[in-house]
Structure 1
């Protein structure tokens, strides 16, 4: 009862349809369980099944589109008995709300198992991430799978058959009369998934200075005391808008600004401050302040309350008053709100499907309404959509973003974390 296992494949984008079709052509008993199926995927593996419809003993899918269910009808027309096709509707629950009385985004069947019994009491089974779609089987998606082969009596295959039996037991029989209902149920799932994306819409467009510092000694600022620091020259809308300064004090300053932002809620002390003065260039040669954030980002007291700054070229002086020794939790954004993002494409990682084995036009083009796509390129990053408006002082703002390495930053938007929004 020896069993061998082959890992498929080192590269995630690898065509697997040829291997499955080869086994299907020799299979005397086929059982398939998949989370999702499309017309293209069914076209990839449909020919061997249509040639020997009686060999398909079980076909359970978790979801499909209306055209996908129409493709199941083609299997019925080819002679596959209807009781061998099943749809797993997942688990759900009453939502308790009248608008959507049933929870739409819910646990679904995601198994991907292609089990085939071959002549000579041999079995092969593909187990992995490949749904019955052209993108998955044809090598466009990034997928992973293992091929297990051996004697039909091996305990591993008994466990696989048990999994298939249970998936089939939980599923409901397919009927052409129900394909509209099954498609509607999947649409509800997708709509529920959209709601779970929850991109926040409660950003407040307001500039906020974030100052991350570590304190020297035990005492920290008190309400009414003033703090001096410097930011890049040319940043506008600071003094005129009475910009808030959110000061975060750490016992030990995090390694970089991005880490400081991530750890903002754990800062030992947090303060709400407000700008009371901004001076471009050399500005004041002497200022009356109680605290200074120096070039090492340390917050130090000014015993005499008089400080003589040595402002570096390209910097401007800021004074802020502590108005509260506490601070609400915020999420900060350092760019304007974007209408969209454009992908950046790799010139090296390319999938060429011009010579694809997909059997018809429907199979080759999973996404309808687009021109014929023969080449897919790896998306390496997302960039703000071309034409998105920049701030007039964007160059200066770039020197006060987390990527700049500075611990005094200027955010353009903010939102309260986990609660109703205010300024």
Structure 2
């Protein structure tokens, strides 16, 4: 008997529980390895197992919640021998810290294997990404799997059985008295994962002018020299002796502002400057400066130290003094810190939440006082939460963000991002 392989499925959101239950109902020996399981997922495939509990030879689970382990107890009550159930606790290591003595976020079991031996020496296996959860098996998650069918003695099935055997060897036997401990271990893993998200909290809310320029040979600016450039009129809080200007010089000008920001560490020269004068409108008709950033973003010297600007409408004049020929590494943000983000829902990609197997999940939400969910909609994007704070000079600031195409920008927040701090 040859081996056949079926790809499941062209669409990521596809119900697979029916196929698995069909094979389980005919299976004489079943082995399952899953990274995660929920009560809803166990309910989806539980009926054929409860009808023939002796057919379940191996069930290895990587993690679950307390209710999930209670669902395993239901399999035991149905007659599944306790020595068939196993919990894989992953790998860990001492952390060296007294608060959390072991590494909580660590390598875990993520295999998803549903192997079944059928009559007439045949076998099948579902190999892919489907955990034993209602969302995965019911077609709500985006998943992918392949179904392998054929002679159980084929080398492909031998390799699958070896994988299951090794996962079982690494696992610890399940015991109903340990479900609180197993649940705690998973909670520790989740807490460790949350710590790995590391959304920065060390942002400093301060306006910084970023100037990206290039210089054609010759000498470079020195400490004490002044630089002239222009930014959109109406930008507030750009005050003398308060606002820093971070100047980045490139041998070859980057293609766009975002490329310039991403390449700040590779800039040929970086300077810390400070504003010493800001003039709205036409401003000064003559300024005493040593350098000018012109309309092509080139930094050019002013031999006479006297420059007569021709300021376009809607721009304001800025003079800054070089205070240091070095600059720490920063990450820059061009909007205020957000308290949250709202999803943008698709009107096309919709999953009916009232179709089995999601009824159980909906019922649980309603029991907790949650709103009834009629459908799941694809989140096509996220956007700043409605009502988020905007700057009073936001229109002017919009002309000094990377999307504007300008190479002189105004950031609202910054944080140190040198290698020592990042480590």
CA distances 1:354-393 after superposition (whole Å, capped 9, x unpaired) = 22245x6258758973323231111111111112111111
Q: Distance between the aligned counterparts of 1:87 and 1:333, measured in 2?
A: 44
TM-score by length of 1: 0.96
- Cα RMSD (Å): 1.6
Instruction: Name the counterpart of 1:73.
Output: 73
Alignment of 1:22-33 (within 5 A): 22-33=22-33
What's the counterpart of residue 318 of structure 1? 318
Q: Is the 8 A contact 1:136 1:143 kept in 2?
A: yes
Deviations 1:181-222 (A, max 9, x none): 000000111111111111111111100001111112232111
Q: CA deviation at 1:120?
A: 1.4
* Distance change (3 Å), C-alpha of 1:147 and 1:217: same
Deviation at 1:271, TM superposition (A): 0.5
Q: 1:348 to 1:307 in 2, by over 3 A?
A: same
Alpha carbons of 1:366 and 1:77: their partners in 2 closer, same or farther (altered >3 Å)?
A: farther
Instruction: Please give the alpha-carbon distance, in whole angstroms, between the structure 2 residues aligned to 1:363 and 1:310.
Output: 66
Does residue 12 of structure 1 match 2:2? no
Matches within 5 A, 1:167-246: 167-240=167-240, 242-246=242-246
Structure 1 residues 235 and 265: CA distance shift in structure 2, 3 A:
same
Decide whether the 8 Å contact of 2:362 with 2:373 is kept in 1: no
The gaps in structure 2 that reach 5 residues or longer are none
What's the CA shift string for 1:67-126, capped at 9, x where partnerless?
Answer: 000000000011111000100000111111111111111111011111111111111111
Which residue does the alignment assign to 2:258? Answer: 258
2:122/2:150 contact within 8 Å kept: yes
Structure 2 SS opposite 1:69: helix
Matches within 5 A, 1:371-410: 371-410=371-410
Q: Does 1:110 align with 2:110?
A: yes
Say which is worse superposed, 197-206 or 240-249, in terms of deviation: 240-249
In the alignment, what sits opposite 1:361? 360
Distance change in 2, residues 1:366/1:2 (3 Å): farther
Secondary structure of the residue aligned to 2:106 is coil
- DSSP-derived class of the 1:255 partner: coil
Please tell me whether the aligned partners of residues 62 and 90 of structure 1 are also in contact (alpha carbons under 8 angstroms): yes
Contact 2:328–2:418, Cα closer than 8 Å, also in 1 = no
> Partner of 1:349 in structure 2?
349
Determine the C-alpha separation between the residues in 2 that align with 1:248 and 1:221: 11
Rounded to whole Å, the distance in 1 between the matches of 2:364 and 2:132 is: 14
2: CA distance, partners of 1:202 / 1:415: 6
Quickly say closer, same or farther: Cα 1:414–1:116, change in 2 above 3 A. Answer: same
Aligned residue runs from structure 1 range 265-280, under 5 A: 265-280=265-280
d(CA) in 1 for partners of 2:363, 2:163:
31
- Structure 2 CA distance, aligned partners of 1:120 and 1:418? 65
Three-state SS of the structure 1 residue aligned to 2:70 is helix
After superposition, what is the alpha-carbon deviation per residue over 1:2-39, rounded to whole angstroms, capped at 9, x for unaligned? 21111111211111111111111111111110100001
Shift of 1:353: 2.5
Count of aligned pairs: 420
Between 1:242-251 and 1:360-369, the stretch displaced more is: 360-369
Residues 122 and 150 of structure 1 are in contact (CA less than 8 Å); yes or no, is this contact kept in structure 2? Answer: yes
Distance of 1:203 and 1:70 partners within structure 2: 44
Aligned 8 A contact 2:241 2:276 in 1: no
If the length of structure 2 is used for normalisation, what is the TM-score? 0.96
Q: CA 1:207–1:224 in 2, change beyond 3 Å: closer, same or farther?
A: same
Q: CA deviation at 1:418?
A: 4.1
SS of the residue corresponding to residue 37 of structure 1 reads: coil
Q: Is the 8 A contact 1:40 1:366 kept in 2?
A: no
**Paired residue secondary structure (1:386):** coil
Q: Which runs of 5+ in 1 are unaligned?
A: none
1-structure distance, mates of 2:133, 2:116: 19
Task: Tell me if structure 2 keeps the 8 A contact 1:246–1:273.
Answer: yes
How far apart are residue 176 of structure 1 and its match? 0.4
Residue 85 of structure 1: aligned partner: 85
Q: Does 1:45 align with 2:39?
A: no
Contact 1:212 1:297 in 2 (8 A): yes
